[in-house]
Structure 1
Amino acid sequence: MIELNGITALVTGGNRGIGQAFVAELLERGAARVYAAAREPAGIDAGLLAAGAVPIRLDVTDPEQVAAAAQSCPDVSLLINNAGLFTNQRLVLTGDPDAARAEMEVNYFGTLAMTRAFAPVLAANGGGAIANVLSVAAMVPAPFMGGYSPAKAAALWLSTITRAELEPQGTQVTALIVGSVDTRMADHVDGTKEDPRDIARAGLTAVAKGEPVADTDWMAVDARARMARDPARYERSLAKLLHARELRTGR
């Protein structure tokens, strides 16, 4: 169990979307300090800065910047690995063969780098917690999400392994399974999309309860249930969705 009131947290990708929502929600819940990390800190919401968010420059794929963040933020007790990349490219029949590697670098290796760098920091502060912001695409193979789905799946297993390795130091790890959210990353998605603040609220509630894996919204719950009931049928439905989208968009 983690007490969020008075905690010091660091949120990667804290300049927009779900990351920005986590920063806002943490401040609202009484966090003592929230580091809002972004590749371009100038893009961090002015209202959040006025409310006390501390901007830091951080590209999770840059080893020097990751190390500098761990050194300059020694009071962190909650690490939220939220920074992500979705290139909207197919995996095999792609127009950009480098896209999948870039998605793996941010979504998996970036999360791993942050976890390695901050594990000693969390240990020094009593154990603390890590929250990895993942996706339904981590739980089900989403063919319309190219290299993003495999990268998020890798980050899911990373979460489990991290939980086992850091258990002796008292660090809890929560993998957040997120559905469709109203962010720039999901501009191309049709249908109902969740408010990022609702995702942040659900995510922080799961962290506070110490849940190892948590669905943050209805789409996440529904997708996991459909996959569990009939994996082959759900896989076929996802393939149909891919081809229907190609017919509609020409991609």
Structure 2
Amino acid sequence: MELKNAVAVVTGANRGFGRHLAAQLVERGAKVYGAARRPETVDVPGVIPLLLDVTDEASIREATRVASDTTLLINNAGISTGATLLGGDMTEVRRDMETNYFGPLATTRSFAPVIEANGGGAVLNVLSALSWFHPAGLGSYAASKAAAWALTGATRDELAPRGIAVSALHVGYMDTDMAADVPADQKVDAGEVAAQALYGIETGLPEVLADETSRHVKQSLAAAPQPNAD
């Protein structure tokens, strides 16, 4: 997909990784809607602020009406409550799933007809190495990203005949606020990951593995689960 003159909606564009994506898309000549629950916090030069709460379908419908020229949707908005699946607050578990799975599903359902009507385009879902690796301490977040990985594969098949490519970005820890407590040597530069993601869109890659962590975890999927130590 040619990014010059593309029309992109980036959810969660007011901070972190989404801000990098929005800025780099502008640099490549795209028209960019920066979507956020508080659009006044979107301050990237050249980006059009767009009110969009991925957990509110009325908000999504209105954003779709405003951004009716969209050809590229990037489902970036996400949260991590830190809840475990058995001991965590179920309200927090549901928040992870509502934002990280049902949010991208709702936005894709709403924007897909618009992208198709505009001649086709692409959807990128920002996922995680934890789509495949599920530590107990991050069970809720990992489950939501695993569900979003399944969503990506299913919608890729469903939207291909409509001229819409669907791809996934997988990465370990990026240097953003969400990973503020992670040691610096375990994080990758968010700007570099954004560049890889946009290259993947341009070249039609169905999957972008942006760091060594995501590549290692993907390669290990064929290994049998190891039993718990006594």
Q: TM-score, normalised by structure 2?
A: 0.94
Shift of 1:187: 1.7
1:199-240 deviation digits (Å, cap 9, x = unpaired): 110111111111112201222112222344x3424x86xx9x
Equivalent positions of 1:25-174 (< 5 A) are: 25-31=24-30, 33-45=31-43, 48=44, 51-94=45-88, 96-174=89-167
Shift of 1:170: 0.8
Q: Supply the AA of the counterpart residue of 1:195.
A: D
Equivalent positions of 1:203-242 (< 5 A) are: 203-228=197-222, 230-233=223-226
Q: TM-score, normalised by structure 1?
A: 0.87
Q: Supply the AA of the counterpart residue of 1:159.
A: T
Shift of 1:141: 1.9
Q: Supply the AA of the counterpart residue of 1:184.
A: D
Equivalent positions of 1:191-206 (< 5 A) are: 191-206=185-200
Give the total of aligned pairs. Answer: 228
Shift of 1:3: 0.4
Shift of 1:27: 0.9
1:76-108 deviation digits (Å, cap 9, x = unpaired): 1100000001001212122x2211101000000
Gap regions ≥5 residues in structure 1: 240-251
Instruction: Calculate percent identity across the aligned residue pairs.
Output: 43
Equivalent-residue separation in structure 2 for 1:194 and 1:140 (angstroms): 18
Q: Supply the AA of the counterpart residue of 1:224.
A: K
Q: Name the SS for the 1:110 alignment partner.
A: helix
Task: Report the aligned-residue RMSD.
Answer: 1.5
Equivalent-residue separation in structure 2 for 1:87 and 1:225 (angstroms): 27
Match of 1:177 in 2: 170
Equivalent-residue separation in structure 2 for 1:170 and 1:125 (angstroms): 10
